[in-house]
Structure formats: C-alpha cells, structure tokens
Amino acid sequence: MHRSPRPALVALLLVIVALNGCSSSDGQASASSGTRAPDSGQVRIVDATVDVPALPTQAAVRFVVENGTGADDFLTGASSTAAEHVTVHRSTIDSKGLSTMRPVARLKIPARSRVTFAPGGLHVMLTGLRHRLVAGQTLILKVTFAKAGTRTATVKVVKPGTAGSSEDMNGMNMEHEHAG
C-alpha cells in the first residue's frame, strides 16, 4: 500500500510554525510585561538569534525591538541577503487548536517599550535560504521602521533550544545598528 507523504509534511510544518511562531493578527504589538526600553532615544534590535532550522530552506528569526524614543514607531519590513524572501509574521492558534501563520505588514512599536519576537509570538520568516545555516555563523537582518529608518542586526545562528543561554551568548554583542 502506498502512503501519501502529505500528512507527515503537514505535521512537520505545524511543528515548525509552533516552534517558531507568533500570537494575534491585528498588527499590534504588546510591550513585554513589566519591561521598558531604556530611554536611549533610539530604536534598536537586540538579542537576534535564529535556530539551525529543521528544514534547510526556511528559518524564523527572533529578537527584541527596543523603542527608547518618546514616540510610537512602526516596523514596516525586513530584508536579508541570506534568503530569497523575508517577511514579518504572527502565528496564532485557532479554535480547533491548529497553528496558523499570518503576515504582518505594519507593526506598532510603542514608545519606550520592548517588543519581543519569539517562539509562540512574532517572528521574521526567512524563506528560500541561500545557504545552510550552521550554529556559530551569523547573518545580517535589516529591519525597517517608519520613523527610525533601517536598523541592521547581526543574527547569531544557534542550536535549537539554546537561544539565550550563556553558552551561546558568550559575551558576543548581538547587535549592530546603522541608521539609514
């Protein structure tokens, strides 16, 4: 009997979305609970990481946007030479318990707040990766804001499940920004 690989592929995609996903599709971000961005006068991308992906052609980047200014801003896009397509997404769990992923064209970043892109929340999806991601490598991600312009972040490729550990951070500066 010939079994279709489709159910296995659907299950794998659901696992990937669940591990690298997001939370509601209204285009609004919520500041991380109880944490406020420093009053730096800047919009910054910090703690940018991406897991070595299960599928070699796509991955989800996570990071924190710190809006240290006194004004709301809007994340309007992202790009990277590491992938053919770079999009901002938010995953949700529907009433049937299925994970869905929806693009976010414009995301509010409130003044003096931190917005976290993490598993089960917002993420930047890299599709059509141009090379295999290996732990220890870095890639460049450019994130565009309506007011702050483009910020460039160095994204560290890490083993799945190790982001944020002292082993991976190892004192490395995870950000590198340019106005532009």
Query: By C-alpha distance, which of 41, 56, 42, 60 is closest to 124?
Result: 60
Ranges of residues in the chain with a pLDDT under 70 are: 1-38, 164-180
- Give the tens place of pLDDT for each residue, 26-59: 445 544 434 566 678 999 999 999 999 999 999 9
* pLDDT for residue 117: 96
* pLDDT for residue 164: 57
CA atoms within 13 A on the CB side of 146: 12
pTM of the predicted structure, to 2 decimals:
0.72
* pLDDT for residue 163: 74
* pLDDT for residue 87: 97
CA distance 91 to 69: 28
* pLDDT for residue 40: 81
Helix, strand, or coil here: 59? Answer: strand
Ordered by start, the domain boundaries in the chain are 6-169
What residues form DSSP beta bridges with 70?
A: none
Give residues with Cβ within 8 angstroms of 90, minimum separation 6. Answer: 21, 22, 23, 24, 25, 101, 102, 104, 121, 122, 123
Handedness of CA 62, 87, 19, 107 (dihedral sign): positive
What residues form DSSP beta bridges with 99?
A: 93
CATH superfamily for domain 6-169: PCu(A)C copper chaperone (2.60.40.1890)
